[in-house]
Structure 1
Amino acid sequence: MRAITYARFGGADVLELTEQPDPHIGPDTVLVRVRAASVNPVDWKVREGALQGLIDTHLPAIPGWDVAGVVEQVGLDTPEYQVGDEVYGYVRKDVVQGGTFAELVAAPVRTLARKPASLTFEEAAAVPLAGLTAYQAVQRAGVREGRTVLVHAAAGGVGAFAVQIARALGAHVIGTASEANHEFLRGLGAEPVTYGDGLADRVRALAPDGVDVALDLVGSGAVATSAEVLADGGTIASITDATARTEHGGQYVWVRPSTADLDALTALFDSGKLSVEVAQVFDLADTAEAHRASESGHTRGKIVVRV
C-alpha cells in the first residue's frame, strides 16, 4: 500500500510517500480502506519529536489518527462491522507507527463508529479527534441547559465544535476569537469576544454574574483568566493546562477514543445541530504541504488529506 512515512524526527520535509506492507489485523480490529484523513497539531508535534516521553513513536512511522473510510476486512471477533461499512474514527493506539495517512489502516473497533450519513468522507475525517475533544470537555465540565459557557479559542478546530455542542445542550456561549472570526462565531450561535489584554473585563461585561463553565482550548494563560470570571461553583476544563485540575478543582481532558461519543456526535450531525468546516483538501502525496498549512496557524477549519 502507499503510505506517508517518516524515518527521523524533524520538519515536514521528513515526510515521504512510500510503499509499505498492508497492515495485519487482530481479532478485535478491522482493516479500513482510507478515503480521507485529517491533520491535527499533535501530528506535527509528534513528527518533530516534541512529545517524546509522552507519546511513544516507533520509526519509521505512518502518522495520523483521524480517518474516514470503508471496512475492507474484519477481524475474528468484530460483530460491530461488516465489509463495506462506512466508518470514521480516532485511531489512537499505544504507539505512533501504523497511522491513518495511508491507503489502509488497522483500526481497533473501540476507535470507530459508523460515519454520519450527512457528511462526505472528507468532512467526516475532519471530525474525530477535534470533535471528541470538544464533546468530552463539554461533558466533563457539566455543560447543560441554562448555563453560561466561556470557550477560549472558539473559532479553532476544537472550539467550533465545543460552541455548537454547548449550544445544542441549551447553554449560552461566549467565545473568544479575533475580530475577523466574530461573524463566524455568531453563525455558530456564540456571543463573540476579542481575546488579549482586558479579556476578563470584556467577559464580565457580557456575564456580570460570572460564567458557569470555562473551556480552555488554547493555553497561554486561559486558565488564570477563566478563574477571574468564574461564578461561584463554576468549573474550568482545559485540554492544555493541568492546573485547571490541580489548582482550580476542575478538569484536565486528554481525549480518548470512544465509539459511544462518536455516535453522539453522529446524531448531532445527522440532526443538523452540528457542522464541520474543511479549510483545505490535499492529496496523499502532498501531506507535507498539509502539515505546513496546519503549522502556519492561519487556517480556519480542518485540513484534510484525500487518499
Structure 2
Amino acid sequence: MRAVIVRSFGGSEVLEVAEVPLPAPGPGQVRIRVTAAAVQPADLHTRSGGLAQAGLMLPREVIGLGWDVAGTIDDIGSGVTEFAIGDTVFGLSDRLDVALGTHADQVILEAAAVALAPRTVSAIEAATVPLNALTAAQSLDLLGLPTGATVLITGAAGAVGGYAVELAVAHGLRVVATAGSADADAVRKLGAEFFVPRGERLGDAVRALVPGGVDGALDAAVLGVEALDAVRSSGAFTALVGGAEPAALRGIRVANTWIRADGRRLAELAALVDAGRLTPRVAETFPLDRVADAHDLLAAGRLRGRPVLIP
C-alpha cells in the first residue's frame, strides 16, 4: 500500500509517496481503507520540522503524515464490538510521532478515535470535520460559558473558526465574529450575531457591541493580546497554538486547547452535520500522488476549507 511520508524536514519537495507494508490492527484498533483525508496546517508543520523544533515530537527515520480520515473499516482488532467490517466511518489520528498517518491507502486507528460518518455528506466533506471541529468543540468546552453568554471567535471564516461559530450557536452562545470584510455575509450565515472586520482595533470594536467586553474568546486567528483585550475582566480565553497564549491579564482565565481524539464527540458532530447545523468545507481535492500540490495550496493561505487527498 501507499503512504505519504517524510524522511527529512523541509518544503513540499521532501514529501514522498512510498510503498509500505499493510498494517494489521491490534487489540482495540480498526483498520480503515481511506476514501478521503484532509490536509491540515499541522501536516505542514510536521513536514517542515516545526513541531520537532518546538519539542512536540521526536525526529525519526520515517514520519507519516495525516490526521483526519473518512473511509470504510476493512479489518478489526480483538475487543472491538462497536464497529463491523464495512462500516463507513471518520476519525482522527492525534499522535504526532507515527510512521503511518492517514495520508495513505489504509490506516490503523484506535476504535475510540472513530465514529460512524455523517450520512448526509460525502466522505470528502466528512474528512474535513474531525481535527477542526473537535478543536472548536474542545475549545468551547475549555471556555465553559453558560447559555446566553457572549463569545468572540477570531478567524471566523477559517476552518476551525467556521466550525466554532456554528458550534457556539448550537450551544446557545451569542457570537461576535471577526474575519476579513469580504467574509462578513458568509460568517453571519454561520450564525454570528455580530461581525467585526479584520483591521479594526478589536478590543474597542467589540466593546462597542458588547459593553464591558465578551465573556470569552476563542482565538482561532492567533491574535493573542489583541483578542484578550475584547474579553471582560475575569472572563475566559483559549489559544489554539502552544506558546501563543497571552498573559492572564485582568483575572482572565487563559488556556491552550490541546486536541485529542474522541470518537463519542465525533458521533455528536456527525449528528450536527446530518441536522444541517455543522457545515464541512472543501477547498480542493487531490490524488495522493499530488500531495505536494495540496501542501502548497494550503501554505498559500486564505482558504475557506481544507484540501483533501483522495487515495
Call closer, same or farther: CA 1:257–1:244 in 2, change over 3 Å: farther
Tell me how far apart the structure 1 counterparts of residues 25 and 186 of structure 2 sit (CA, whole Å).
Answer: 42
Aligned mates of 1:198, 1:58 — CA distance in 2: 44
Structure 1 residues 210 and 153: CA distance shift in structure 2, 3 A: same
The CA distance in 2 between the partners of 1:83 and 1:249, in whole Å, is 45
| Conservation of the 8 A alpha-carbon contact between 2:202 and 2:227 | no
Is 1:261 matched with 2:262? Answer: no
2-structure distance, mates of 1:243, 1:302: 25
- The structural deviation recorded for 1:264 is 1.7
Amino acid at match of 1:274: L
Alignment of 1:1-307 (within 5 A): 1-52=1-52, 53-93=55-95, 95-190=97-192, 191-219=194-222, 222-240=223-241, 241=243, 243-244=245-246, 248-307=252-311
- Tell me which amino acid in the other structure corresponds to 2:140: V
Q: Report how far residue 225 of structure 1 moved.
A: 2.3
Distance 1:155 1:201 in 2: 21
**Structure-2 separation of matches of 1:168 and 1:188:** 11
Shift of 1:197: 4.8
State the secondary structure of the residue aligned to 2:99. strand
Distance 2:295 2:285 in 1: 12
Letter in 2 for 1:117: R
TM value normalised by structure 2: 0.93
Kindly state the Cα deviation for residue 57 of structure 1 after the two structures are TM-superposed. Answer: 4.6
CA apart distance, 1:281:
0.8
Q: Deviations 1:138-196 (Å, cap 9, x if unpaired)? A: 11211342111100111111000000000111111111101111111011111221123
Distance 1:25 1:57 in 2: 25
Q: What is the alpha-carbon distance in structure 1 between the residues aligned to residue 181 and residue 285 of structure 2?
A: 26
SS at 1:95's partner residue? coil
Residue 136 (structure 1) shift = 0.3
Q: Flag as ranges the 4+ runs of structure 1 deviating above 6 A.
A: none
Q: Is the 8 A contact 1:134 1:162 kept in 2?
A: yes
Amino acid at match of 1:13: E
Report how far residue 243 of structure 1 moved. 3.7
- Give the Cα separation in 1 of the matches to 2:167 and 2:59: 33
The one-letter code matched in structure 1 to 2:128 is: A
TM-score, normalisation: structure 1: 0.94
For 2:98, what is the secondary structure of its paired residue?
strand
Structure 2 residues not aligned, in runs of 5+ = none
Q: Secondary structure at the match of 2:270?
A: helix
Question: Partners in 2 of 1:201 and 1:245 — Cα distance?
Answer: 19
Q: What is the RMSD computed on CA atoms of the aligned residues? A: 1.6
Contact 1:36-1:69 within 8 A present in 2 as well:
yes
Letter in structure 2 aligned against 1:113: A
Q: Partner letter of residue 90 of structure 1?
A: L
Q: Partner letter of residue 14 of structure 2?
A: V
Query: Match of 2:66, SS?
Result: coil
SS of the equivalent of 1:3 reads: strand
Where structure 1 has 5 or more consecutive residues not aligned to the other structure, the ranges are: none
Q: What is the total number of aligned residue pairs between the two structures?
A: 305
Q: Match of 2:178, SS?
A: strand
The answer on whether the counterparts of 1:237 and 1:244 sit within 8 Å (CA) in structure 2 is no
Q: What does the per-residue CA deviation read over 1:48-103, in whole Å, with 9 as the maximum and x for residues that have no partner?
A: 11111212353322210110010000001111211001111111236232101110
| More displaced 10-residue stretch of structure 1: 57-66 or 44-53 | 57-66
1:244–1:251 Cα contact (<8 Å) kept: no
Q: Distance in 2 between matches of 1:257 and 1:140?
A: 16
Distance in 1 (alpha carbons) for counterparts of 2:279 and 2:37: 17
**How far does residue 213 in structure 1 lie from its aligned partner after superposition?**
1.1
CA distance in 1 between partners of 2:118 and 2:211 (Å): 39
Q: Is the 8 A contact 1:57 1:97 kept in 2?
A: no
* 1:242-271 per-position Cα deviation (integer Å, ceiling 9, x unaligned): 645766422211111111211221121122
